[in-house]
Amino acid sequence: MAVIIYLVSAVVIIITYVYISFKKSYRLWSSLNVPYLEPSFPFGNLKDITKSRHFIYITRDLYEKLKGKRDYAGIWSFKSPMLFVTSADFAKDVLVRDFATFADRGVYSNPKHDPLSGNLFFLEGPDWKSLRSKLSPAFTSGKMKTMFHTVTAVADELTSYMEEQKIVGTEVDMKNLMARFTIDVISSCVFGLEGKSIKEPNSEFLRIGLNAIKLGKLRQFLTFVAMIMREQARSLGFRMFNEETTDFFTNMVHETIAFRRENNYHRNDLMQILIEHLKLVEEDDSNDSGLTIDEVVANSFIFFFAGFETSSTTLTVALYHLAKNPNIQKQARAEISTVLSKHDNKLSYEGLAEMELLERILLETLRLFPPVGTVHRVSNQDYTLPNGGVVPKGTFLVLPVYAMHHDKDVFPEPERFDPERFTEEEKSKRHPFAFLPFGEGPRICIGARFAMMQTKIALVKLLSNYLVITCDNTPTTLEVDESSLTVVPKDSVWLKFEKV
């Protein structure tokens, strides 16, 4: 009996201690005179995280309740206070003006137990800065022009496959087809391999790729917890990416490097740049300009991870809205025809840049379905707010991109597809930081130009040859998949192609 009383007393003491600790944390924002929503124990303001809701919808609800009070507000994730951005002005402050304080994403990374997490997107501080400078040369205008021809060749393979398989006139799962296209683009531009996913719908590369980005609800929740309890997660050896994914990309990179060296094969692609940096370390392991083999693998993976699902989703959603808006599609096709006629009816890098309506179509698509629905940062030093309050070092910040993109006060009728929102005249009427599909500032997505280029090329090839139309199974609206880290359609997106 005494043992039971002791155990019950211990549990009560622990719960009381935890509760008091939480309540103490819940006083932070009021002490700093920051607007906030009343938290509830133990979830703070994120109790919906346990439900089947994507984080973008949770943050959109918070944004609608908090915007207009001030440029920022306070929320809590469980016990952890979070600074919540509610204006484009403050978004600019944290992403650009005060970047030195908010340089780190606060994403969980554990290269020791989870090698793929040691990549550009996840790294922080000097490690990120050094790696960014090494990888930036892969995305210069010169490199874009070189990769332009590679992407165009893959897009030609796509249209050839469609003709061979007599896809025209049948219902097509656009989500699947565009995923296979972008997989083959990444295979070629990043790994220098001939992609086979367009012709082989069940390819291992496609299967591994889809598994890498799709998390179950439990793993998604654990990943979120790992972000706010990073040291504890590292000590427990938590990993975001499973062994199958890690082994697949590790073996692929090792085999690619071995083939190139054995055959003295050089290719003007991202892998070649990584190999050159690897060579520096192999010759002198103290050379800070180089990359280890683990770093080569991790960054090959992140370029695949970042470029695959995000671009295929942008293509899928763009085609969906063009099918639903035939007049806009007709105008886009006319623009493509006009520009091609000025360039000997051949698609060129320069001609692609002249397609302004196509650009606006993609920007509007990215507004509706931004690849990353929230931008996260963590302060690396105390931060003084405009009102004079001091936010402690280590405080997380959330910038609700999806919510800002769907703010009816900035984008009237936010659910309506309207590329004219992105004419120069319309853009001049709103704050430039109200639209952040690739982030902004020094940590803007390094592959943004490449992503735009490959999606434009695919649209040019498809719209030049086909009409995209709705069919019986075309969804009325596009719901977001709550099990995905990125913002992607939940279900198949069925459309039809007809010859022009």
- Binding site membership for heme: which residues? 445
DSSP class of residue 39?
A: P
Using CA atoms, how far apart are residues 280 and 435, in angstroms rounded to an integer?
40
Query: Token pair 């975001």 is at which residue?
Result: 240
Closest CA to 451 of 347, 271, 304: 304
Hey, is 13 helix, strand or coil? helix
Using CA atoms, how far apart are residues 215 and 82, in angstroms rounded to an integer?
24
Using CA atoms, how far apart are residues 291 and 311, in angstroms rounded to an integer?
27
Residues 6+ apart with CB under 8 A from 141: none
For the four alpha carbons of 194, 491, 303 and 371, in that order, the dihedral sign comes to positive
Token duo for residue 406: 């769907």
Contact (CB, 8 A) for 385 and 32: yes
Please report which helix (H) or strand (E) contains residue 74, including its range.
strand 72-77
Using CA atoms, how far apart are residues 126 and 405, in angstroms rounded to an integer?
32
Residues 6+ apart with CB under 8 A from 448: 438
CA gyration radius for the chain?
A: 24
Known binding-site residues equal: 445
Using CA atoms, how far apart are residues 441 and 208, in angstroms rounded to an integer?
32
Q: 3-state DSSP helix/strand/coil percent for the chain, to nearest 5? A: 55, 10, 35
Q: CB burial class (10 A; 0-12, 13-18, 19+) of residue 231?
A: exposed
Using CA atoms, how far apart are residues 493 and 179, in angstroms rounded to an integer?
12
Hey, is 437 helix, strand or coil? strand
Phi-psi region of 346 (alpha: psi -120 to 50; beta: other; left: phi over 0): beta
Using CA atoms, how far apart are residues 280 and 287, in angstroms rounded to an integer?
7
For 435, list phi and psi in degrees, rounded to 5. Answer: -130, 110
HSE-CB at 279 with a 13 A cutoff on CA atoms is: 10
Q: Are strands 171-173 and 494-499 parallel, antiparallel or unpaired?
A: antiparallel
Please report which helix (H) or strand (E) contains residue 279, including its range.
helix 270-283
Using CA atoms, how far apart are residues 182 and 458, in angstroms rounded to an integer?
9
Token duo for residue 448: 């943004």
Residue 216: how many other CB atoms lie within 10 Å: 9
